[in-house]
Structure 1
Amino acid sequence: MVEKRKAYIAATLYAMIVGLSFMFVKMALTIATPFDALAHRFTIAWIAASVLLLFKKETINLPTKDIIKIACLAILYPTLFFAFQVFGLVHTSSSEAGIVHASVPIFTLVLASLILREKTTYGQKIAVMLSVLGIIYILYMNGIGDKSISLLGNGLVLLSAVSAALYNVFARNLTKCYSLLTITYIMTLFGLITFNGLAIISHMLNGTINLFMQPFTHLNFVIAMLYLGILSSLGTSYLSNYALSQLQASQMSVFSNLATLITVLAGIVILNEPFHYYHAIGACVIIAGIVGVNYLRD
């Protein structure tokens, strides 16, 4: 009972961190370019991972082929996942992004069925269609009045959700072969190299390399990077792993609904983002689909 209670606390903390992460990304993007924000985020995450590795006195000694396997997976997460997310948030609000991102469990279910041949019930298929309709409804309503920028942003966030779902599917076997810290460390290192490389190349082409570290002169940016680098990139991995050691995957997935709610509320209350009636309708439909996927198992 005590372990279960701790697991629920871990899952709740996980949802809160994920829910607020969209707001901190938006905060960072008011000061830095998307590539700079990603580069600095993963630099801090890698430093934190290195300190954790040193503290736990673990060593990473893997064959080259195993490192390549993890690096290939890192193309999906963190590279494509965070790239689509950050560039999407340039064009849409954090609350809208949070609603669309709630589709990750749905895409995971569909892709697991197609790739891993996992069976789904008739009720789960209907629930998947329900959530997809919720996403389409939000995107359609945003398109009314020629809101093409918001459509682009939500489309990129949707691609981010698909990247996360693909990672969830392909990572299942990988997580059985290596420790969580090993996978996290290599992926974080891959993100550091990729995004710092892209940021530096971008600055060199524009002749603005002297501005690369300038965002750190803003306190809000420093706070956002510490949150995104340490809590959002590293903390969520350990919290979700602990929760899943005590709870069923379906139980854990329900906490993504809480993350969506927190994202929406943070966007409205803290960032003063607009929220329309169709956001509420679409969010309810998506969440209803997610709950249906988790509970219509028989």
Structure 2
Amino acid sequence: MQQQGLKLAYSFAVLNAFIIGFSFLFTKVALVHAGPLDTLTYRFAASFVVMSVPVAFGWVKISYRGKPIGRALLLAAMYPLGFFTLQVFGLQRATSAEGGILYSFTPVVTMIIASIFLKEKTTLLQKLCIFLSVFGVVFIFVMKGSRIELSNMTGIVLLFLTCLAFAGYSVLARSLSSHFSPAELSYLMMGIGFATFLILSLTGHTASGTLGDFLSPLKSGAFILSAVYLGVIASLVTTLTSTYILSKIEASLMSVFTNLSTIVSMVAGALFLEEKITVYHWIGSFLIIAGVVGTNWLGRYKGGTKGRNQQGTRLT
């Protein structure tokens, strides 16, 4: 039973990488029709409304009584609130390439935080594999001519903080998986995300006298499709699956899968935006995959279930 749970967790991790990889494409489409805060509002509106249906009909049971709700609220503050807010304002002051490079360091930050708060142990070879995965992403961006400009320091700092926010989410979600079901955590996070971004968006439109523009994006079928994908698939589904994954495997092992999304977004760009794939893309992709496989394959032989049980999270 436990082995089946691990296989499902790894399958979900790969699925999430594919979903996130395509989310960059849909985000580009959505931002043509709406600003960042409006896009986030509709994104989380879609996820919250869709999940509210099974909750309202009792198909999904939700109960927060007697559970550490304060820590769950802190989780929501890290993701989606902290992560997306920092990302939006960071990308306004830095380039998307810089964002991609900095985001690739999320597994490293997660590994450090998980070792401190969850006492997760990684071997030297696993650490090297994590860095290999990161190097693969950085290699692709650098070979494309991208680099980090110190003149964009404010944006760089904000984007690096997104790594901390996602790493903090991964670690805290793993510790909370023994108290909440994936549905309970996901519903809380989607609801808080929707309410917060709705308030911020409406406040911004009111202050600038553009409140009538709030509904304008809904005139576009492309925007609605993008919002549904970003909200239901890229937010709700990945949150549900990530919470399940973190109840089965260490946060440091899960986080390295995020770098696979770079490969997926590269393929999506080639298929739908006619972006060119070169030799360095293949080399970088090989390094990323080798790092992901190496990290998790070596994790199977560093202490087995005993090592996992010491994390204090449920495994079944």
TM-score bracket, shorter-length normalisation: 0.7 to 0.9
**Residue 225 of structure 1 aligns to a residue in which SS?**
helix
Name the CA distance, whole Å, in 2 between partners of 1:132 and 1:259.
Answer: 12
Q: Which residue of 2 aligns with 1:236?
A: 238
Equivalent positions of 1:46-195 (< 5 A) are 46-55=48-57, 56=59, 58-62=61-65, 66-87=68-89, 92-93=95-96, 101-131=103-133, 133=135, 138=141, 141-143=145-147, 157-195=159-197
Range that drifts further, 107-116 or 165-174: 107-116
User: How far apart are the structure 2 equivalents of 1:284 and 1:268?
Assistant: 17
Look up the equivalent residue of 2:147 and give its one-letter code: G
Of the three residues 4, 16, 24, the one matched with 1:22 is 24
Q: Confirm or deny: 8 A CA contact 2:178 2:247 kept in the other structure.
A: no
2-structure distance, mates of 1:261, 1:204: 40
Distance 1:231 1:110, change over 3 A: same
| Contact kept in structure 1, 2:98 and 2:147, CA below 8 Å | no
1:157 and 1:290 map into 2 onto residues whose CA distance is 23
Quick check: 206-215 or 5-14, which moved more?
Answer: 5-14
- Identity across matched positions, percent: 39
Give the TM-score taking structure 2 as reference length: 0.75
Which region of structure 1 is more displaced relative to structure 2, 189-198 or 154-163?
Answer: 154-163
Structure 1 270/100 Cα, relative in aligned 2: closer, same or farther at 3 Å?
farther
* Cα distance in 2, alignment partners of residues 255 and 167 from structure 1: 15
Name stretches of at least 5 consecutive residues in structure 2 with no aligned partner: 303-316
Equivalent in the alignment of 2:295: 293
Q: Return the offset for 1:252.
A: 6.1
User: 1:98 touches 1:264 (CA, 8 Å); kept in 2?
Assistant: no
What is the Cα deviation at residue 99 of structure 1?
6.4
Q: Encode CA deviations 1:66-85: one digit per residue, 9 max, x unaligned.
A: 33321111111011222234
What CA distance in whole angstroms lies between the structure 2 residues aligned with 1:17 and 1:192?
20
More moved, 132-141 vs 113-122: 132-141
My pick for the range that moved more, 257-266 or 68-77, is 257-266
Structural RMSD (CA): 3.8
Instruction: Tell whether the 8 Å contact from 2:171 to 2:251 is kept in structure 1 after alignment.
Output: no
Residues 22 and 98, structure 1, Cα contact 8 Å, conserved in 2: no
Conservation of the 8 A alpha-carbon contact between 1:25 and 1:86: no
CA distance in 1, matches of 2:169, 2:286: 26
Shift of 1:116: 2.5
2:37·2:197 contact (CA, 8 Å) conserved in 1? yes
In the superposition, relative to structure 1, how do residues 227 and 239 fare at CA in structure 2: closer, same or farther (>3 Å)? same
Supply the AA of the counterpart residue of 1:104.
T
Q: Give, in angstroms, the shift of residue 245 of structure 1.
A: 7.4
Distance 2:200 2:40 in 1: 10
Give yes or no for contact 1:128–1:290 (8 Å, CA) kept in 2.
Answer: yes
Alignment of 1:35-50 (within 5 A): 35-50=37-52
Q: 1:102·1:287 contact (CA, 8 Å) conserved in 2?
A: no
User: Which residue of structure 2 aligns with residue 266 of structure 1?
Assistant: 268
* Partner SS, residue 34 of structure 2: coil
> Is the CA contact (8 Å cut-off) linking 2:177 and 2:243 kept in structure 1?
no
Q: Give 5+ residue unaligned stretches, structure 1.
A: none
SS in 2 for 1:142: coil
Q: Deviations over 1:191-227 (max 9, x none)?
A: 1121111111111121111111111111111000111
Q: Separation in 2 of the partners of 1:267 and 1:155? A: 27
Number of aligned residue pairs: 294
Alpha-carbon deviations, 1:120-157, whole Å to 9, x = none? 2222333344455556664695238x7967x8877655
Q: Which amino acid aligns with 2:211?
A: I
Indicate the residue corresponding to 1:223 in structure 2. Answer: 225
Name the counterpart of 2:307: none
